[in-house]
Amino acid sequence: MVTWIVLAAVLVGLLVLGMSARPLLARRRRVERALRRLRERQRQAEALQADAARLRAATAVVQQRVLDARQRIELIKAKTRAE
């Protein structure tokens, strides 16, 4: 008889443990999904940062070309005035 009472108490304890663990497992899945989405966004952000760095470098090259072109224009204008 005592064995049945102990067994019932253990089973009730396991049942309560299982019922309390169920919402935690459901939240864990949501957290894992959110973590995957965050990692994907981080990867996208890193790719955008790399693209931005390339654009900054390209902009610097174009700005230098503009400055060079302005200097050449000034030289041409100076030569034209001198003639």
| Chain center to CA of 39 | 6
In the chain, the N- to C-terminal Cα span, in Å, equals: 122
List for the chain the helix, strand, coil content (%; round to 5).
100, 0, 0
SS3 call for 1? coil
Residues listed for the chain? 83
- pLDDT at site 80: 87
Q: List the chain residues with pLDDT less than 70.
A: none
pTM: 0.55
